[in-house]
Amino acid sequence: AAVLYVDAEGSARVELGVVRGLCRRLFQLAPEYALEIARTSSESLAAVGPELLSELELRALERQGRTPERRAAAAAAAYDWLVRASKRQGLAILVDNADRADEASLSVLAKLARQAPAERLTLTLSVLAGSHTSTTLEAIRSYAVTLELLPLDEAQCTDLVRSLFSDAPNVTRVA
């Protein structure tokens, strides 16, 4: 499976910011396949972001502006693209700080969460405990298994640091 990771921190101000990050990551991991899938919905997918335009050679689309219809088409195309990519190679989509994601990206993630059981697709989202969540994020939770991660105690923290750094000097100091 391909692992697509994006941190939603800072993407709230960018429409489809999380989705753009996922698309960019898929292009990095499997450029030939990503481009093959993208060509079938290139106009709509190119509206997701300018970084995809160079991949798809559709610079003229960037100048056409972003109407609500184009934004909706871009979100639908990105969703379709990710689902089609998951059929060929399973996808694990990891979104850190999902409570800070833009609403358009959350809508795409909600559709993916609803479709995930029927596809080779896994979504893992992290949210800060006690953070304000949107209705879209709550909808995603309705399709999810929720796990609350508790803080590590001192011994667990030391074990974690040792698992990463083995017998490096000052491991306990870092922990």
Tell me how many degrees the CA angle 87-89-90 measures, rounded to the nearest 5: 85
Question: Which pLDDT score, from 0 to 100, does residue 95 have?
Answer: 96
Query: Over 80: is that where the pLDDT of 145 sits?
Result: yes
Question: Which pLDDT score, from 0 to 100, does residue 43 have?
Answer: 52
Question: Which pLDDT score, from 0 to 100, does residue 136 have?
Answer: 92
Please tell me which residue, 115 or 60, carries the higher pLDDT value.
Answer: 115
What are the tens digits of pLDDT across the range 69-99? 777 777 888 888 889 889 888 999 999 999 9
Reduced to 3 states, what is the DSSP secondary structure of residue 119? coil
Read off the tokens for 65. 């502006």
| Range among 11-15, 78-82, 120-124, 140-144 with highest mean pLDDT value | 120-124
Read off the tokens for 3. 């692992």
What are the tens digits of pLDDT across the range 8-18? 997 767 778 89
